[in-house]
Amino acid sequence: MLEVYINMRKWGRFTVLATCDAELLGQVLRDGKIVFEVKEGFYKGSKVSVDEAIELVKQCTIVNMVGKHIVKRAIQEGLVHPEAILEISGVPHAQIVKM
């Protein structure tokens, strides 16, 4: 079973979800001038299956996701457009904002 970390918070009228592939937690991705930290303080919460995380993605208003497993599944579910993906050192990153 593929696992990801999820960290969900309320921010005003928004529900914010941060999710990352489990193996990325704590890593620093570097690509040219881009330095992206998969910070435990932001991403670490519960460890769940990709299926469980995708169900939460569908319910949240703001989502920040990083990792091949979670982003691929979000694309398959039609939640993220493939052209909206930013790759950092070969690792996909996507954001969803529903207003």
CATH number at residue 24: 3.30.1860.10
Q: How many domains does the chain have?
A: 1
Q: For residue 16, give its domain range.
A: 3-97
- pTM of the model as a whole: 0.94
pLDDT digits (tens, 9 = 90+) for 1-19: 799 999 999 989 999 999 9
Residue 96 has pLDDT above 80, yes or no: yes
In this prediction, residues 23-33 reach a mean pLDDT of 96
- Asked if 27 and 38 touch (Cβ cutoff 8 Å), the reply is yes
According to the model, what pLDDT value does residue 99 have? 81
Give the angle 93-95-98 at the CA atoms, nearest 5°.
165
Percent of the chain with pLDDT over 90: 96
pLDDT digits (tens, 9 = 90+) for 57-78: 999 999 999 999 999 999 999 9
Long-range contacts of 56-59 (CB under 8 A, 24+ apart): 56/6, 56/8, 56/17, 56/19, 57/17, 57/19, 57/96, 59/15
